[in-house]
Each structure stands twice: as structure tokens, then as C-alpha cells.
Chains A and B, each alone.
Chain A
Amino acid sequence: MAPFSLFNKTSDINGFYAMLIVNRLQILYFILILPMYLVHPYMILGIVIIGIFSQINLILFSKWFTSNFSGQGYSAFVQLFGERKFRFFVLFGLIPMLLKIIVLTLNYVEAIHQFIFPSMNMLWLVLAILLISFYVSSKGMENTIHFVVIAFLFSFWVILCFIPFFFPPFASLSDLYPLIPTSWSMNSWKSLLFLWSSFSGPEYLICISPWFKRGQTIFKYLTYGNLVSVVEFLISFISSLLFFGSNYLSKTNYPIVTMARYLQSPIIERIDMILLSLHMFHFVFIISFLILSFYGGIRIVFKRVHKQTTRIGFLACCAVIFTSIAVVNQWFWEPGIKDNLWLSLEIWSSSVTFLLVPALLLAAIKLKGRSLE
């Protein structure tokens, strides 16, 4: 049997993939529920502002990619933090990663459960999606990174389906008023936090930093990715405002899917089922990417970095992920997405990681640079 290698590097990947991955990571799940958290028309401005903040964060982050450390992968981190401390960091990082996988999978499956198979046992869907993700990730990190192109091609154009909502009879300008916040409450802060966590995701690029081509201006591509995300968020939010109106929007679950349900084609009605299925491409890519990162993290924690990857190790990781999802689903999950404890946890954790990871890396590089002098 050929050796089972997941983290082989045969060729460099260029910034183009960084762009796609950043965009897909940011869009992912939140696009399905984003509008119902923002609700007020003035949050259009919120999207733009948070997009700019995210851009600033990406500037910090791109400093890491231009530094000498990024290409070296594991050894660079060991150099920066020391092995023991780094393993501790990784252990700490595994928690938000696992949380992300659990929450995203369960939320997406819940959407399918609600709109396509109301009578199906949710765990079957989880199993099916995870199995296919395991398959994708078993092809190795490089192939998984390449898979983003396919995921992008199959899911990107979905946003274009909402363009008709920008035209009459759906659209009336009054649905977008007022554009300036006239009152501010705790909920508005929450919406902004939610937006910030929606923009999170690019921090996971550090898991694949050794694959990137050296000396390339990744920053440019990160900017593009971020920009595309902002545009997608804007399209989805504005079109849902036009479709529902602010008041009705606050009372709708999965507004984007509901909008898709309203679309019709002459051959097939209920386009939402097809669109939701297509969203799975996107979703499976992210999950497989996270699974591989998770496995890589586990290997670092257990000091297995320099050994060959094994099927058993990988399968064990998959089993751990599935089991944790199953356990959460069975005993701790409350259906419904509003005021869901797990979703809030995920929002907080992803916001914190997105805020801290670039800053931490930059600080470490600066400190190291000073100590070398």
C-alpha cells in the first residue's frame, strides 16, 4: 500500500487560492442567516464599516505572510514561541476549530432539515456530509486547497439569483430607509459583533501558510477576497431587505433560503432545494479544510509532526469530530437559530480568534526581531 500522506507539498499555490479561500471562509454559513441578525437598513453601513475593519486586520495578517517565518511552517512557530509554548497554543486553537466544525455542520444540517427533509433524522445528514468531507480531505491538503476552485465555481453564482429582487415589483426604496441609525441599543452592538465574526475565517490561512509561494503579494489577494465578501454580504442583505422589509425580516428564519424558495424557473419550482444543495460544495470544502487543519493540530499536540501521517490517526480524528457533533446534537443542541447558545459561542470564539491571531503573530515577529538584534 502506498504511504498515506496528507501534508505533502508538491507545488506552490499562488495568492489566487488565498483569495478564494478567504472569501469562502468568510461567506460560509453566515450568509444563510446574516440578514436576520442585522435587520435594520442602517446595517448596510455596518457591513461596509466592519468590512473596512476586517481589511485593517488583514493588513496586519499579511505582514505575517511577507515575513520570513511563514514559509517554514512548523519550525517557524517553534522558533517564534518555543516548542512547549507553541504546542500549548495549538491545543488552545483546536477548541475554536472544533467548535466551528460542530456549529457550522449542525446549523447547515438544520437548514436542510427544515427546508428539504423535515422528517429525516438529522444525524444521517451529518454523517453523509461528514463522510463526503472526510473523503475530500483524505485526498490531502494540496488537493483540498485546489478543491476551493470547484467549490467556488459551484456556489459563487448563487448570489446572482437574488439580483431579480433588486427590481420591481419587489423593490421599493422605502424598504431601505432609514440609512442612518436613529436609535442604538445592545442589539445593534450584537449585530456588529455578529458581522465581525462573519468576516472571520482568514486566520485559518496560517494552517496552510507553508504552501504559499514565497515572495508573493498575498495582501492584494486577501483584499480582493475580503472585497468580494463585502459585496456578497451587501447583495444578500439589501435584497433580503427589499424582499421582506425590515420588520418582517426580523421574524424570519433563514431569510436567504426563504427568498430562494420564492424563486421559480419554468422547469423546476422551489429553487431553494437546489441552491441549498449547491451550498454543500462550499460547505464540504470548508469542513474538509478544517478537518485537515484539526488533524495537523492534533499531530503537533501529540508531537507527531515529523512522522508519516497514518490512516488510523486520520480516521481517529474523523471519528472524534463525528462523535463530538453527534454528542452535541443529541444532548446539548437546541433547535432554532435565534438565541442559540452554541451559535453565540461560535460568534464569540471566531471574533476573538480573528482579532487575536494576526495581532499575536505580528507581536511575536516583532519581539523575535528585537531579541535577535
Chain B
Amino acid sequence: MKHLKPVLLIVILSSNIFFTGCSPFVDNNEIEEIAPVTFWSINPGAGGKLEISTLGPPLVKEHKRLLSLKVDLLKQGGKDFNLKYYRELKSGQLRMVLINEELAKKGIMPIINTLLTDPDISQRLYLVIVKGNFDEYIKNQVKSQPNLDYFLYRMLRHYEKKKQGEMSIINLHQFKKLLYSPFSDPILPVFKAQQTNFIYHGTAIFKDDYLKGIAHGVDDQIFQLVNNDYYLKFLPIPKYSVVLGNIRSKVHKKMNENDSKLSIRIDVNGRIEEYRGAKDIQNSIELEKFNKEIETYLEKQTLDLFKNLQQLQADPFKIGTLTLGPISKPMSEKEWLKHWKTLKVNVDYNIKIHPLTSVHE
């Protein structure tokens, strides 16, 4: 009886160990043994394969080179890299995924889903569409700029933090939310990769997970203006040789009673940053006229953009949510898309430019 207790204890403990097996961990995450990848660049490879590449070794001040592989599946690439490189590559610090334009046109759902289901990968992963050959650019730049990936990340982060309306930065979660909600379609930023340059190009417009079109130049500016509801740092209008700046904007979207007509009023409140035209904008009457011209121009451009979107059956501005009400039955996604195609759109700009009193001739 006296020995019952220790015996019982040993039995319990040993049965526990028996049940659970010995080693609790099989994963080694010690940071000196792993190489946390910061970005994947995914390109279409020959024969339906994917070509994925990254810069290695990440984070350490060692000689860097471009690692790339041709694989069938994204995660397979993750595994094959380990066979190629002396540290284990881990995806827990993945911050950016750059997807080639061509690939995006064929649909990026499988890629997105893979990223989303991996619990290691943050929801704040930036998704970027690349026009051109990113790998080529990396190869050219890695010598002169070893921490290229880091600076790229910092840039995306900077423009995401305070939405100044320069770039449309979208992360994984936002993309997914836009994708799944029936009344909106996702967008992504597009960057153009050249030999020595990597520049923001515009906004990619998706229909479901297929890339349908890219808004760039003035279209992208208008896109930013409508989408980014409150502030825009610069709005260049090259046609009139003018740059508007520090713009506070307000977009009023309204659907009429039977959801057949959409009217958008955009209040823009800013100042002229630069002007190179022939008009005498010191003169208030001239300025008023100029103002009107810009308004008509922007109205036309915006209408064109909307027409395009309607044609593509894409709704990145979440216009569909306007049909919702607290007690009305919502439309189905199909119904809405049909509706969207034929929706009448009316755009009205209301520009207020600060008088330029501080400048004297």
C-alpha cells in the first residue's frame, strides 16, 4: 500500500510518454539555421510550370545571388530550394509576392490559396503584379544594391501606411476580402521591371482572380482619386500642363431608387503645385475657366474609366454595396453583374483650387 503512490505516478507518467511519443518538435526554427525568405517572384515557366525565384541568402550580409527553380507547385519550390541551398528556407517572413502579368491573366487563385492556408505566412503579405522580367532586374541590381528586397518592402510599407494615393498597395487579406465579397473585385499594383529600373506602373483590375486590365497614367490617377476617398498628394494632368497637389477629396456615390443610375460627385479641394501652360491663372476669371476645363476633362476621363470597367464586368470601387440596405434582400452576385453592365453612370467633379495670392508677377 505504501508504494502505491509512486507506482501509480510512474505508471501515469510513462503512459503519458507512451501516448505522446518522445519528441514534441520536428521543426527547427532557430534563426541562425534558417533563411527566412522575404519575397517570391513567380513567373510562368515552359510547359505550364511555374518558375519561382528569390534572392539568397536573405537577411545576411553575404554574397547574394538569384535562386530560381522551375516547379509544378508553389510549395514544391519551397522544398526544392532547400535541396539547393545550405540553409533551410522558411516562409514565415514572406512579405512580398511578385506575380508576373502573364501568369495573372491565367488566374492566381491557386497561388493565393496556397499562401493563405499557410499559417506561417502573414496576412499582410504584399501582392504585386510585375510587367516585364523581374528576375533580370534583380540580377542586374544585386551587385550594386544587396538589400534590394528589404528596400522594396520598405517602399511598399511606406505607401501603405498613410494612404497618400500614389500607389494602390494591396495585401493578401485585402485582396481576398475583395475577391470573396460579391459586390467588389480585387485590384493589385502593377510594377514595370526593366533592366535597371523597377517602377510603379498602375493598377491591375481583376475580374475574380483573372487579370483583366491595367489602369495607368491618368486612368490610374483617377482610380486613386475615386478609390482613395480622402487624400491625394499629387494629381498631375499633363494635358493641361498642371499638377494639383495636397488634394483633400470626397467622393459621394449615390444610387437612385430603383438602382438604375449611379451618380458620383467628387469634391476636390487642393492647390496648383505647378503650372506650365499659357493661361494667366493669377486672374480669377481665367482661373475659374481653367477650373471648368479641368473638371470637364476629369469627368470625361472618369466616365471612360467606368465604361471600361463596366465592359470588363469588374467593380473595383465596390459600387455594388450601394444597392444594399439594412432591411432589403441583397442581390445575388450574378444579378448584380448583369445590372452593373448596363448601369447608367453620371460623374460630376467639383474642383476648388486655392487662390494663388502669394505669387506676384
Contact = CB atoms under 8 A, between A and B. Distances in A.
Given A248-B181, A312-B8, A315-B9, A121 B119 contact: no
Contact of A177 (B27, B122, B330): B330
A138 to B, nearest CB: 13
A72 interface: no
Given A117-B25, A248-B180, A322-B12, 4 more contacts: A121-B21, A246-B181, A262-B123, A262-B124
Contacts of B16: 127, 322
Contact of B163 (A121, A169, A326): A169
Contact of A119 (B27, B183, B324): B27
B180 A119 contact: no
Contacts of B176: 248
Contacts, number: 97
The B interface is mostly helix, strand or loop, or mixed, namely loop
Interface in B6-48: 8-9, 12, 15-16, 19-21, 23-27
A312 B124 contact: no
A273 to B, nearest CB: 10
Contact of A174 (B9, B20, B25, B321): B321
A119 B8 contact: no
Contact of B25 (A119, A127, A169, A180): A119
In the A-B complex, the 6 residue pairs with the closest CB atoms: A174-B321, A248-B180, A119-B27, A182-B329, A124-B24, A123-B20
A178 B25 contact: no
Interface string A161-178: 000000001001011111
Given A244-B177, A326-B19, A120 B326 contact: no
Contacts of A174: 183, 318, 321-322, 324
A241 to B, nearest CB: 11
A172 B184 CA distance: 13
Interface string B242-265: 000000000000000000000000
A319 B12 contact: yes
Given A118-B119, A248-B180, A315-B8, A180 B327 contact: yes
A170 B289 CA distance: 39
B120 interface: yes
A262 B180 contact: no
Contacts of B327: 178-180
Name, among B5, B183, B327, the residue most crowded by chain A CB atoms within 10 Å (CB to CB). Answer: B327
A1 B181 CA distance: 65
A179 B19 contact: no
B209 to A, nearest CB: 14
B173 interface: yes
Contact of B124 (A172, A183, A264, A319): A264
Contact of A172 (B163, B321, B326): B321
Nearest to A326: B19
Interface of B: 4-5, 8-9, 12, 15-16, 19-21, 23-27, 119-120, 122-124, 163, 173, 176-177, 180-183, 318, 321-322, 324-330
Given A124-B20, A247-B180, A315 B326 contact: no
Contacts of B23: 121
B345 to A, nearest CB: 19
A178 B324 contact: yes
Interface in A259-279: 261-262, 264, 269-270
The binding surface of chain A is classed by DSSP as helix
Nearest to A325: B19
A2 to B, nearest CB: 15
A258 B123 contact: yes
A115 interface: yes
Interface in A132-152: none
Interface in A310-368: 311-312, 315-316, 318-319, 322-323, 326, 330
A251 interface: yes
B8 A247 contact: no
A264 B15 CA distance: 41
A261 B24 contact: no
A261 B21 contact: no
A261 B9 CA distance: 40
A114 interface: yes
A251 B21 contact: no
A121 B325 contact: no
Residue of A175, A176, A179, A248 ringed by the most chain B CB atoms within 10 A: A248
Contacts of B20: 121, 123-124, 127, 326
B163 to A, nearest CB: 7
Contact of B181 (A247, A262, A330): A247
Contacts of A169: 163
A251 B173 CA distance: 13
Contact of B324 (A120, A121, A177, A243): A177
A201 interface: no
Contacts of B163: 169
B122 A270 contact: yes
